[in-house]
Every structure is written in structure tokens, then in C-alpha cells.
Amino acid sequence: MSVSRVFGVTGWKNAGKTTLVERLVAEFVRRGWRVNTVKHAHHEVDIDQPGRDSFRHRAAGATEVALVGGRRYAIMREQEEPSLAEILTRLAPADLVLIEGYKREPHRKIEVRAGGDPMAPGDPTIVAVAADQRPPDSQLPWFRRDDIAGIADFVARMS
């Protein structure tokens, strides 16, 4: 993949990570950027449904199944979870890849906070905080969670 900008959104469960990623994607697309995203889940995921043909292909033992239709496709591969680096090499070229999750990876991140213990003090890859109020425990740049343009400007400068 040909991309020079990778930036992450991290935080505890229900902090608003997905909402922030969704709104940042829309903002960057509005600015004319091509954006890819990577979402890490801590549980098994399955985009397929029992009884569907592609599910049956996988159940029969296919290592990889491409589900193609209309304007999108998905390739499902049966293997151990790949590394983030491997996933990034498989993405199409983009101006920016926003990564949700992958807390332990070394890319720069913004921490989304909605209560709970702060992550930033123990993680040098967190370079900003998005929260409803300025965190008293942080010297990092702070943005309100709904300051999408401000966060996008910051991400554009940092990534």
C-alpha cells in the first residue's frame, strides 16, 4: 500500500471511538482526501451468515472466500489474526488510514475519553486527548470530542 499517513483512535469501550472515526472519515472525505480505516475487534468477527453460499464455502474448508456483489466485495481468510503491518500492506492506496483500536501498536493516536482511567500517562504513542472537558492530568493537546475540524487539522499535521 502506498500511504504516508497512519493515525489511530484509541480509548476504553464506549468512549466514542467509532463515532469519532466515522466523523473524521466524513471530514477528510469532504476535504478531498481518500481515507481507509482499520477496525480491530477483540472478539471473533464474521461478516458471513450461516446458510449463505459463501458461509457454506468456508464451512467446507475453503481457505479464502471472496464475496463479490454490486459495488463492494470482501475477502474472508481463515488464518490466525494478521498483524496490523500485514493489514496495512493489503489496503488500497489512500491519503490517510485511520486505525480504531490496536492500543499496543506504535503509531500515533488520539485517546477518546468518556470517564474511566486515562490511558495517555502510560502510553507515549498517545499524542492528544479528545474529551468533553479538559483533562486535569494531561499536558497533551486537548480537543472536545465534537471538534471534528480541529481534530482533523491536528491529525493532518501529525500523521
Residue 100 domain-assigned (yes or no): yes
- pLDDT digit string, tens, across residues 121-131: 999 999 999 99
CATH assignment of the domain containing 103? 3.40.50.300
- pLDDT digit string, tens, across residues 84-104: 999 999 999 999 999 998 999
Residue 45: what pLDDT? Answer: 65
Other beta carbons less than 10 A from residue 101's beta carbon: 20
**Torsion-angle region of residue 88: left (phi > 0), alpha (psi -120 to 50) or beta?**
alpha
Residue 39 domain-assigned (yes or no): yes
Confidence of residue 43 (pLDDT cuts 50, 70, 90): low
Residue 63 domain-assigned (yes or no): no
Residue 65 domain-assigned (yes or no): no
Domain that holds residue 15: 6-45+82-158
Residue 1 clears pLDDT 70, i.e. is over it: no
For residues 108 and 159, is the Cβ–Cβ distance under 8 A?
A: yes
Residue 91 domain-assigned (yes or no): yes
Structural domain count, the chain:
1
Residue 99 domain-assigned (yes or no): yes
Residue 15 domain-assigned (yes or no): yes
Residue 58 domain-assigned (yes or no): no
pTM for this entry: 0.88
